[in-house]
Structure 1
Amino acid sequence: MRSRFFYIVFACVLLILCINNVLFYVTTKNRLVGSVEQQSLMAAGNLRNAIDRYKASVNYVEDMIGQQLRLAAIAAKDRLDPKAANVTAEQLTQLSLELGISHITLLQPRGDDIVGVQSSDPKELDMSTKHWNYWYTAFRQLLQNNNVSIPEGQKLPNYWSGPIAHADSDPSKIDKWGYFYDGTTDYIINPYVEDIQIKQYEALAGPDVILNKTILDNPSILEMTGFNYNTFGYPLKVSRSQSGNDYIALASRPIWFGTYSYADRDNDIVNVREAIELKKPITRTTILNGKKVIKSFIPVTYDDSALSVENYPYVIGVVFDYNGISQMLNDQARSLINRILILTIASLIVLIVVFRMIRQNKEEAIRITQEAYIDEMNDMFTTIRGQRHDFLNHVQTIHTFLQMKKYDDLQRYTGELIGGIRQINDIIQIGHPAVAALVQSKVVTAMDKNIDFRHEFEPIGNLDLGVTSVDIVIIIGNLVDNAFDEVAKLPVSERWVELRGWHQAGNLVVSVRNPGRTICDEEKERLFVPGYSTKRPDDHSGLGLAITKKRVDSYKGSITIESDEEHGTTFTVSMPIQRMVRSS
């Protein structure tokens, strides 16, 4: 049985170690994935800040170009005839070269439209603008009021400039246009430049440059993508220029920046929608292009007050290589396996040492108990032998009392003799060395204090009390001592203490009863409080009942008090026991 118990304990320790390390492994994995999410958020946050700064810089550059175009328009007005019919394409071409701009176009109202009537670029001739939305509105306001009031674009006196966009006459070009009209001409002067400066700036500090640097600084990042929330996942919005060429407007591009080679379109569409609508990052693990990756979708939104064509909401997608995490987890797993082996060996050694110590302590406890039991038995047998040795003397004394017809003295003598024999027999019948020794010592104490000590114990030799001998002696001893102290206040003829012990319903029950004053309910509660005592401070520390209560509670037992004038005061202790027949 000891061997089986050892293996059970060892298996439990090993199981606990395995569970602990598995939990540690899972926790480490979750922490690493969480770290990837934090890195994604940090990378996306840095990218967004850089893009916002880039947009601000682009707007500043655009405004400067717009101002230059206005100056070019004013210079052209001074060089051109106020009537468009008198201006030639050659003049506009020569003037464009002198002013350092790409082309100049003259726009005039024609019915419900505003069209290009003369230009240094032949593609701009007869170009209609009535379908240009707010651009067309700006042209009409400029012709009517010499100023523009719409929120879009750059507005200066007698001048308006729209954002960089594809040229309707040639969608392959992205240009910057300016429109000037002060009422001195019958046309709007429209100088424009191909966006060489913006392209150069974008090549130096644009989103893709920032993005590539971020990926270079973070080798685990495989790809970053800017998803246009308004158009990604929807049918591609294709515009057609007046030249008949199809193109996609800058604001309609589904991917604003970065690359999109790790595509999982259906799931990406859902994740992009959720990221913006829930306003929180979305992270998932998947396999793309033969690699296990972690994809994070970080939303970028703006307040309504800051909303513009350039500030539409978008989502930054970050693709992390899971191999880095897998490598760290594999290293962690190897470390955990080594740790389990070391701890298992250490636990095995500790268990062997502990079991040896337990066995030695158990053997020592058995030896001490046996010695105590033998000593007690020897003492009792010595007493019995003494009684047998004195038996002849007792018989002679009895015979003498009979001859002398001193019947009262004979009755008193035989009563004392029988009482002593009964006490020895009662002690033998208890069957528990520690309890028997305690009772025997209390018998002697009671005789010294002139107390009638009555004791009755059912045999408990075949019971596994589940209570240590030390504790049962403390519990019974404190209760009996407390009763002795209480009856010592009474006259000698009224001094008696009754100790009873029996087993009932799986419990060891011990009761101590004595006469004396009645204890009220309020005092019953205070009796078990450390330091409380009904005796003088120099007579008692007030700890006996408190210690008894603590010992009883430690075995999940109970202690009750009953007190009245007729029956006296009774302390009853009940503690669980386990019946077990001892092997011979």
Structure 2
Amino acid sequence: MHLKSRIFYLVIGYVIFILFFNNILFYVTTKETLVGNVEEQSVHAASNLRNSIDQYKTSVKYVEDIVGQQLRLAAIAAKERLSPQAEHVTNDELEQISKELGVSHITLLQKQGDDIIGVRSSDSKEIGMSTKKWGYWYTAFLQLLESRNVTIPEGQKLPHYWSGPIEHADTDPSKIDKWGYYYDGDTDYIINPYVEDIQIKQYDRLAGPDLIMKKMIEDNPGILEMTGFNYNHFGKPLKVSKSQSGQYFVSLYDRPIPFGTYMYEDRDRDIDNVRQALERNEPVTYTTVVLGKKVIKSYIPVPSDADNQQLDYPYVIGVVFDYHMIRDVLEEQITTMAARIGFLTVLSLVLLYFVFRMIGRNKDEAVRVTQEAYIDEVNDMFTTIRGQRHDFLNHVQTIHTFLQLKKYDDLHRYTGELIGDIRQTNDIIQIGHPAIAAIVQSKLVTAMDKKIDFRHEFAPFGSLNLGVKSVDIVKIIGNLVDNAFDEVTWLPVHERWVELRGWYNAGNLFISVRNPGRVLDEEERRKIFMPGYSTKNSGDHSGIGLAITKERVGSYKGTITVESDIGQGTTFTVCMPLQRFGI
């Protein structure tokens, strides 16, 4: 296969490889970006949910406080109607007062030994009820009896009054009630009015976390599920309490899943990721398959309120995102990008084809011109050699004539000129490199026309592989010598000389060109290799000869330097490594 064709196909293959690699990179980066967007979307949804839940909790707290205040008023009103001694109060009396005050029931609690017992109540289940194992509730009762006020952080605290949070009734866990406890020291019992918290339940149905999540899922089609994980209890044995009626129940604050649904269960990893998310206080995201569906699960931590950790537990919001949404978006983008890349690829290959044709034509033309110049220079050299051989008989006859006439001075002068001419030609031939010999011969002719003393000295290269293409060696020597010729043309004839030297040392080829003339300053030496820059005033110079020379030298990993001193003239020195490329 032709070299140019191989290069063309190699470039096409390289372009196709780059496009293929670019497509893979685009796919991977786009996928990562979309997954990152999903995580951001999940975090954003969880943040909105958290804010909504916080607002909900604030509203619930406000409603609870209002209900608690109403219970306190009911307790004060009941006190005015009741005897100060519990033994003089009847259960029927409490039932009647409860109906009149609009509360569900009223219970009277009395301290008996190390326990506080329900001694009278409008609800028969409350009679004989023990509170000793009720934790901070029992502590609150003791504080009421001892100091008339409650100081524990939990619950609502008012003068002579305490109200606990909404919770399951210990005597009937099927009910969720709100209790109030009043004691001012005028009675031998704590007055405990309570209501079944229908208002809170109704508010929860209208504005609770489940309704908020349902709305968010509707607004975000990619979200399949949102779950609230109770950090204190999720993944741990279920904490079940037994009521005094013998029923089992789970406290509102001990539920592993306080809100949301939990259908996309990956339990072991869910437990680990919930723990990591809250302990690191940063979202955790991973991709998995659950229920035969590929999903992205994110876990966003919500730390507890440091001021009220009993009632405001830490939790993690889990968001399950449908991975197929990413796949659909990714496929759409890939299809669009593939169409664009396909069109641009075809267009690039067409343009590449025409560019290669133009480069090939220009290259062929450049090679043709260079080869013609090279052939002309070689022909000139061989013409000189043939001319010397042709004139050899004439030279011999002339020498013989001078001898016969005994004109020895003329003979000495003539043979001296003849030997110098022959030595010069032999020096060129001994260079051993046709391209260098040809360019030196060519510049000798030019120097004679311009009356320049052109001195040249080259180490015999023989069969040594210089590592520089013939075309480039001609460009380098030709540009440097032409530049030197132009510089000395302005000098008087007897001061015009140019010295060209070539040698090799330590694996490097050296070429130097030296000429007299003015000294170049630092600024000129710095700019002299810049395209378009010239130290000559003549409009015939483009200022690109030295720039081309530097570019050619650089292509062989070589260097070119310039020195300019008074008495030494200006010297350009080229250094290039040997045996790098074939001639």
TM-score range, shorter chain: 0.7 to 0.9
Match of 2:353?
352
Moved more, 479-488 or 249-258: 479-488
The Cα offsets for residues 547-566 of structure 1, whole Å up to 9 and x where unpaired, read as 8666534431135799999x
The Cα offsets for residues 141-197 of structure 1, whole Å up to 9 and x where unpaired, read as 111211111111111111111111111111111110001111111111100000101
The Cα offsets for residues 500-531 of structure 1, whole Å up to 9 and x where unpaired, read as 335677754324478999x9xxx999995336
TM-score by length of 2: 0.86
1:183-198 to 2 correspondence within 5 Å? 183-198=185-200
Match of 2:532?
none
Q: What amino acid sits opposite 2:335 in the alignment? A: R
1:376 aligns with 2:373: no
The Cα offsets for residues 30-56 of structure 1, whole Å up to 9 and x where unpaired, read as 111001000000000000011111111
Match of 1:226?
228
Match of 1:217?
219
1:555 aligns with 2:556: yes
Residues 380 and 63 of structure 1, relative CA distance in 2, 3 Å threshold: same
Identity of aligned residues (%): 62
Q: What amino acid sits opposite 1:153 in the alignment? A: G
Match of 1:42?
44
The Cα offsets for residues 469-491 of structure 1, whole Å up to 9 and x where unpaired, read as 46753456436855996999999
Moved more, 475-484 or 549-558: 475-484
Q: What amino acid sits opposite 1:529 in the alignment? A: R
For 1:551 and 1:359, the matched residues in 2 are separated by: 19
DSSP 3-state at the match of 1:280 = coil
Gaps of 5+ in 2: 530-534
Match of 2:287?
285
DSSP 3-state at the match of 1:231 = coil
The Cα offsets for residues 67-110 of structure 1, whole Å up to 9 and x where unpaired, read as 00001111111111222112112211111111111111111111
Conservation of the 8 A alpha-carbon contact between 1:225 and 1:317? yes
The correspondence for 1:123, drawn from 122, 125, 129, is 125
1:573 aligns with 2:552: no
Residues 408 and 481 of structure 1, relative CA distance in 2, 3 Å threshold: farther
Match of 2:331?
330
For 1:244 and 1:473, the matched residues in 2 are separated by: 107
Residues 34 and 140 of structure 1, relative CA distance in 2, 3 Å threshold: same
For 2:483 and 2:412, the matched residues in 1 are separated by: 32
For 1:252 and 1:579, the matched residues in 2 are separated by: 81
Q: How many residues align?
A: 573
For residue 416 of structure 1, report the CA deviation from its aligned partner: 2.2
The Cα offsets for residues 415-437 of structure 1, whole Å up to 9 and x where unpaired, read as 22333344445556665558724
For 1:471 and 1:307, the matched residues in 2 are separated by: 88
CA RMSD, aligned part only?
A: 3.8
For 1:192 and 1:376, the matched residues in 2 are separated by: 119
1:93-492 to 2 correspondence within 5 Å? 93-302=95-304, 304=306, 306-380=307-381, 383=384, 394=395, 397-424=398-425, 426-427=427-428, 432=434, 436-437=438-439, 439-442=441-444, 444-445=446-447, 448=450, 451=453, 453-456=455-458, 458=460, 465-466=467-468, 469=471, 472-474=474-476, 477-478=479-480
For residue 363 of structure 1, report the CA deviation from its aligned partner: 2.2
Q: What amino acid sits opposite 2:363 in the alignment? A: K
For 1:516 and 1:327, the matched residues in 2 are separated by: 76
For 2:114 and 2:432, the matched residues in 1 are separated by: 123
Conservation of the 8 A alpha-carbon contact between 1:524 and 1:561? no
For residue 308 of structure 1, report the CA deviation from its aligned partner: 2.5
Conservation of the 8 A alpha-carbon contact between 2:562 and 2:573? yes
For 1:579 and 1:554, the matched residues in 2 are separated by: 11
The correspondence for 1:530, drawn from 527, 531, 545, is 527
Conservation of the 8 A alpha-carbon contact between 1:530 and 1:543? no
For 1:579 and 1:338, the matched residues in 2 are separated by: 45
TM-score by length of 1: 0.86
For 1:401 and 1:469, the matched residues in 2 are separated by: 46
Match of 1:81?
83
Residues 460 and 92 of structure 1, relative CA distance in 2, 3 Å threshold: farther
